[in-house]
Structure formats: C-alpha cells, structure tokens
Structure 1
Amino acid sequence: MTTDLSTVTLSASAFNWTPDVTRAERSTIDLAVGIVADGLTEVIELEAGQTFRGFPTPSDAELDGFRARLDAVGGRVSIFGASLDDVTPHGGRLTDDEREAFLIPQLRAAHRVGASGVRLPVGQAGETLLRRVLPVLHELELTLFEEIQGQQTPDTPPVAAALQLQHDLGDPRIRILVDISMLMPALPPSYLERLRAGGVAADLLHRLETEWRSPDTHAAVVDVLRSGQVPPEVHTLYMNLIVRFGRSQASDLRDILPLTGAFHLKFWDLDDTDDRVSAPIRDLGEELRRTDFAGTLCSEWGGHEWVTGVSGTEITRGHLALARAALAG
C-alpha cells in the first residue's frame, strides 16, 4: 500500500475567514465561495454554523443557492462542520430522540450542498446515536468524521473508546479526522509574544520556547494555572497550552491511520522557524505514503485570537503553498 501525495485533495476551511466574518464586509456565503473564486483551492470545508443563517436547519433555498454559486466557480464541499447540542435551553439533557432529531437535518443539509462528510468532536455522538444515524449516512453517501486534536492522543480515554467503537462497527461511514495540532514540535512565536505581553512569567516563557514537548513543561504549565499566577487578561489564551496544543509525533498515529479518513493541517501563524509549521506536515506525509489514504488534507488556521491584521485569503494562500512544498518534500 502506498499513497501518491500529489493526488491527495488539499482543501481549505472556511473557518480561516473568521476575522472576515466578524468584520461583516462580505456575507458568509460570499466568503466561502470566494475561497474557490480567488483560486486558493477547488475544495472547501464548511463551518456550517458560521456559514448558514438557518443553521442547524437551513432552508433548501439557502442551501441550493450556495451550491449553485459554488458549482458556478468549479468548487465543491469536502466536510460539513456539524454541531450537536446536548443540553436544552432549560439546562436539561436531550434525549436520544432529540439528539437524533437535531443531527439528521444537518446530515441532509450536508448532502444537499454536495459534501462528502460531516464532522463532530470525537466521542460526542456516542454509540447509540452513531448506530441510529448509520443508515442515513449510507442513504446520503456521507462519512461521519470524529475529530481528535491538541492534547488528545490515541490512548486518551474518549479517543480510545471511539476507536474501539469504530473497530466494532466495522463501517467505513464512520471515521477519525486528525487535527495536526496534536503534532506540534514547538509553539507559535506569535502566541508566545502575546503571553509575554500579557505578563506571563519569563521563566515559564523560556521553558515554553525551548522545551515544549517535555513532560516537565506540561507539569509547569499546570502548576502555574493552579497557583493562580496566570494574568487575568491572558487566562483564556493560556488554556490553549492545556487543550489545543499537542506534543505527539506523527509516528504515534501509525496504528490509527486505517481508521482515519481526513486531516486538518492546523496552523497558528506562518513563522516556520526550525520547520515548526512544515515539519508536522512533512512527517505526516511520510506516514501517509505507507498507506492507501484517499481522504482530504485541509488547511485550518487557529490563530485568529492573537494574529491580527491579515485576511483569511492572505494567510491561507501562504499556508497552502507551504503545505504543498512540505508534502512534496
């Protein structure tokens, strides 16, 4: 089994245009269609809740209008980012029937815009719902992707449980999506600069800059959090160290690649000093060359909160060029 990476679909996520959505100078539909019209890529991944006003039950007219415009510029949708509410407005838990009723319209919306799959966080659906929607996934020819990212690893309990369930189901309509935020050799300089400006202690910053993957660094990050020494103005930003930034190696994914159908090529900024952006992509490519992978690799920008003054188009174009070079290498 081998994969020719030059034939793998390289896509871009509409999530990269979140700052543009916030500025509201163009509609979300204009922005999504513009990804293709501006020549970045022919394949896009949608954040449905950000794209469609009627989400989670967008009208047929809204969906058909979007698809017609995307078809007109030669584009298509790869994955439809779905959502699953588990709590009622009054704080109660949704029943299995209510959860199914919330998700099914999104599956049908994904099919209507021509998507090949839908995405949920790993473990959120659970066994009961997955078994219920499997017939619908087959009817609509959709794959449901369960996303793993950041500090998660194949051995993290929710991930391990999802992998076991996928193995037991033995159905290719349910697969894993890996976000390579799991594979960070170093932290983004733009992020560290924001922590520095926010008053995070110099000794911790030095450790974050030089020893990110060390278990001792993780322990230090947690100790500072528990001690209350994180400055309030960067407290939310600091939590990325606990949740969104991972320390795994591409080789750690080897055993789960048969159950993996898509990847997010997560990036935070384009500072590729010491190959901190390109190395995870290149290492992933080496693993994929040993498989028969035929899914998508999607450019996804996660640094909106601290990288300012750039457009989604500008930063995504740069990242796609970097990703193509890393995969070719």
Structure 2
Amino acid sequence: MGIKSGVSLYSLQDEYMNKRMTLAEIIAFLDEHDVEGFEILPDQMLHDTPHPSKETLADWDCIMSKAQVKPVCADVFLNTNLYNNRELTQKECLDLLIEEIKLASRLGFKLIRLVSMVPSFVIEPLLLYAEKYDVAFALEIHAGMSFDIPETKAFIDEMKRVNSPYCGLVIDTGIFCDRIPRVFNEFNKQVLGVNPAIIDYFNAFFDQGLDGSQAFDEAHQLKPELAAMAEPKDMPYIMLADGYENTPLSVLEDVFPYIKHFHFKLWEMTDEGEEYSIDYRKILTYLHEHGYDGYVATEYEGNRWILPGHPMVEKEQVIAHQKLIKSIITELEGATSNV
C-alpha cells in the first residue's frame, strides 16, 4: 500500500536502441536498484505489437520469470491519423485499443496508458473488455495537452459519467515545472543557436511563478515583444518552451480519485540530488497527504538534450532520480529503501 517507485523503460531508450542493453539487461538493472515497478512502450521494445510472435512472448516470459520488478503500466498509442486521406473510424479505434488491452493482459500489466488526445467515445465500449481482461485504461494528462484542452475535458467528463474503476488518468508531472529544464535551454542555445534573449524571456516567467503560456495571446499568437525578437531558427524553441507548465497541484483535487499512475518527469538530476525543474518533495508530500496508493515512475527525457561530445547518462540519471524518490517516500511513509 502507499506510494511505490517505478521506472518507465522509455527512460533507457538510448541504451536499448543503440544495443548497449537488451531488455533482459534493463530489467536486471531495475532489480539491481530495487525498483518496485516498471512501465514499457510495447511497440518500442517488443517487436510486432500488439501481435508479437510466439518467440517474443517466450522471451518475455523468461525475463519475467527471473524478475523481481513488477509490470505496472503499458504505454499505448492510438494513431487516428494512420492514413493520410482520413481519420480512423470509431470501430477502427476501438479494435486497435481492444488488441492493446488483450496484449497488456498477456504480458501481466493491469493498466494501459492512453496517449493524450484519445477521443472520449472509446471509453464506454472499452469498459467491457477492460473488465473482461482486468486491465484498466487511463488517459495521460501531459504538458501542452493538459486540463484546459477541449479533448481532455471531454475525456474527463465521460470518465466521470461512467465512473468505473477501469477508467482513469495518468498524470505527467511536466505540468508542475518550477523552471524550464536547464539541459533544454543549453542544447537550444549551444547547438541550435537560439537567441539567448528569448531563453531569458521564457525563464523570466518562471521567476514570477508563471510559465511560457504567458508568451502568447488568447489566439496563441506570439506577443509583440517576443515576435520582435524571434527569427525562424528560434521558433522550435518557442513552441517547445510553451510545453513546460507551472500548474498548481490543486488542479488534481477534482480528479484525484481517478488517478491510476504518475509519470515523474526527469530532465536533469543536479549534483545536490534534486531534479532541476520539479520539486518532487512537494509533489510526493501532496500525494502522501491525499492517500495516493500507486506507482510514480521515473520518465527520463534529458537524453534528447545531451550536448554533442557528452556521454549518454540515462542509467546514472535514473538511479539518482530513484534515490531521490525513494528517500522522500521513506521519510513520508516509513517505506524501506535500499537504493
């Protein structure tokens, strides 16, 4: 019971993609560091999902038979734009998600994460299969696609209407940033040549307790002072910087009973043992005080902002983040941490 630590294998994607670690070695790495649960993107690390071969499933079974870490969440996608001339029909959407539920059950997961913007019409018809296979589904609330987005609101309204234990939310803590990730700023400044004045412009909003949404007007156009500085080479930074949100934790009050899982975003662990952009002591204290009973999974995304010539530090960052999380959980709940 209580808050449990986890790791999304997305955090170690470079290790896997560049064949420095196999899936079996990644799971062994989590066990070595006493991680309690893990989540996976099946189509990233299991070939031919949602219909993997018998050989792939046999390999999975072998890995799981030796593992202590528990399969917790399978991250799935619904590509409604699969075809370039039309969107998927409702039946096609449902058929794809039903197959994902079946696979999650076969792999031992009790939860699938639906990527942000999945339409609300899938909820009621999916419940029959979620109950049959004992696999819940939950929409990810992600920065840039958070609570104020119409599609998110529609999903939450329908989720509340059906009020099923098999339908809920996954909260990504990228909506709770106190600062823009330093690694993101440095990569854009040093590698992509973004105007430092624009980076300072966005940082200043966070210094005031705000976020990058303040750089845009109601029509989501650049405010005049930013438009005067911006060149075409700066636009990718500007559009991404808007995706680090500084939202109060109170936004969770209305939906807290529906929260199934957390992505604990990680961009940079500092030498002081803290995450640079997010106050995880504050978040974990909030979850503890509200009686959260579930997993909080490290999701490292600083790997995409590693400067040229610098080593990849996925494993080191994950270990440091897990140490931070588990030390705070121990302090709050008296849990045993062996990290």
TM-score (structure 2 length as normaliser): 0.84
Q: Is the counterpart of residue 67 in structure 1 residue 69 in structure 2? A: no
Aligned pair in 2 of structure 1 residues 273, 312: CA closer, same or farther (>3 Å)? closer
2:175 pairs, out of 169, 177, 182, with 182
- Tell me, yes or no, if structure 1 residue 133 matches structure 2 residue 132: no
Matched, 1:112 2:113: no
Asked if 1 retains the 8 angstrom alpha-carbon contact of 2:81 and 2:87, the reply is yes
For residues 15-36 of structure 1, the C-alpha deviation after alignment (integer angstroms, 9 at most, x for no partner) is 0111112312343x23542343
Q: Which amino acid aligns with 1:187?
A: I
C-alpha distance 208-276 of structure 1, shift in aligned 2 (>3 A): farther
2:6 to 8, 11, 35: 11
- Whichever residue aligns with residue 94 of structure 1, its letter is L
Deviations 1:70-102 (A, max 9, x none): 231223210001121213445322222222222
Is 1:293 matched with 2:287?
no
- For the Cα contact (< 8 Å) 1:17–1:31, is it kept in 2? no
- The 5-angstrom pairing of residues 248-259 of structure 1 reads 248-259=247-258
Confirm or deny: 8 A CA contact 2:264 2:299 kept in the other structure. yes
Q: Distance in 2 between matches of 1:133 and 1:76?
A: 25
User: How far apart, CA to CA, are the structure 2 residues paired with 1:183 and 1:300?
Assistant: 14
Q: Which runs of 5+ in 1 are unaligned?
A: none
For 2:241, the aligned partner's letter is: L
- Provide, for residues 164-216 of structure 1, a one-character-per-residue CA deviation record: whole Å limited to 9, x for no partner: 11110110101111000000001122221122223322332223334326558
CA-to-aligned-CA distance 1:234-271 (integer Å, 9 cap, x gap): 6545432123x111022232222112111111011113
Counterpart code for 1:239: M
> Quick one: distance in 1 between partners of 2:278 and 2:82?
43
Task: Give the % identical residues.
Answer: 17
Instruction: Answer whether contact 1:100 1:133 (CA < 8 A) is retained.
Output: yes
Q: Tell me the distance in 2 between the aligned counterparts of 1:23 and 1:216.
A: 35
Q: CA RMSD in A?
A: 2.7
Q: In structure 1, what residue type is equivalent to 2:50?
A: P
Q: Do the aligned partners of 1:35 and 1:44 also contact (CA within 8 Å) in 2?
A: no
Q: Which moved more, 1:140-149 or 1:319-328?
A: 319-328
Q: Does structure 1 conserve the Cα–Cα contact (< 8 Å) formed by 2:75 and 2:115? A: no
Question: Does residue 100 in structure 1 map to residue 100 in structure 2?
Answer: no
- What is the TM-score when the length of structure 1 is the normalising length? 0.86
Q: Is contact 1:177-1:261 (8 Å) kept?
A: yes
